[in-house]
Structure 1
Amino acid sequence: MTNKIYYLASCDTCRKIIKSLPKTASLEYHDIRQNPITEQELEVLHKLAGSYEALFSKKAQLYKSMDLKNKNLQESDYKKYLLEHYTFLSRPVFILEGKIYIGNSQKNITEVLKILS
């Protein structure tokens, strides 16, 4: 399995994290705005993450504007929204050595840097 990062090129946090990665890191870069995630790719992420909810960003502007926090979302809803709009993917998502790292928490980024160094 290829080491990969799903990110948004226009996201400052993603850009900062990518800049901090070792220059020697061999990663496949996937900009989710230019190249939306396919259902097949989402299935791979889902299998690694254990749920669609784990991949879903509740910080997304659309989450607030669509008033999704007041809806009782099921796994099928999370999947639908993730496929519908890139903003719902918690970013960045790294797949490294068959493991998934979702989001930009300090713990995640420290782990990712350790693996890539």
Structure 2
Amino acid sequence: MKIYGLKNCDTCRKALKQLPDFSLVDVRAEAVPDAVLQAAHAQFGSKLVNTRSTTWRGLSEEERSEAPLVLLRAHPALMKRPLIERDGELFLGWDKSVQAALGLG
């Protein structure tokens, strides 16, 4: 049971606080395993790329046109956070629907 995100991301810290049995995988320090990244892309598509991030704004138009998986491998901080993996199930973000799906309210 893992939370893929950034250790200094407020949303990831909130998720980790409510999910104490989960471990945080900092995507800058350790890459998201390719199988997990591919499964997340298959499930969430372009929603997996955070186009509101400062990393995204710093990319050139040419870089932005790359395939999402290529972008995420090159710039892990572009991933919408957190990506939560529980028993083979994937959840993206930390809104009320994700919290409810995880049994938190």
The change in CA–CA distance for 1:100 and 1:40 in structure 2 (over 3 A counts) is closer
Q: Distance in 2 between matches of 1:79 and 1:42?
A: 8
The change in CA–CA distance for 1:29 and 1:97 in structure 2 (over 3 A counts) is same
1:61 equivalent among 46, 54, 75: 54
The SS at the match of 1:91 is coil
The SS at the match of 2:67 is helix
The SS at the match of 2:29 is coil
- Provide the aligned C-alpha RMSD in A: 2.4
Q: Give the total of aligned pairs.
A: 103
Task: Give % identity.
Answer: 23
Is contact 2:16–2:23 with CA below 8 Å preserved after alignment?
no
In structure 1, runs of 5+ residues without a counterpart are: none
Q: Distance in 2 between matches of 1:28 and 1:103?
A: 16
In structure 2, runs of 5+ residues without a counterpart are: none
Instruction: Give me the TM-score of the superposition, normalised by structure 1.
Output: 0.71
**Equivalent AA in structure 2 for residue 12 of structure 1:** D
CA deviations on 1:97-117 (whole Å, 9 max, x unpaired) are: 3221111222212322x07xx
Equivalent residue runs for 1:63-102 within 5 Å: 63-66=56-59, 68=61, 73=65, 77-102=67-92
CA deviations on 1:31-88 (whole Å, 9 max, x unpaired) are: 11111224344223234x252x1311112112122255xx6x4xx5211111101111
Instruction: Give me the TM-score of the superposition, normalised by structure 2.
Output: 0.77
The change in CA–CA distance for 1:29 and 1:83 in structure 2 (over 3 A counts) is same
Per the alignment, residue 2 of structure 2 pairs with 4
Per the alignment, residue 30 of structure 1 pairs with 25
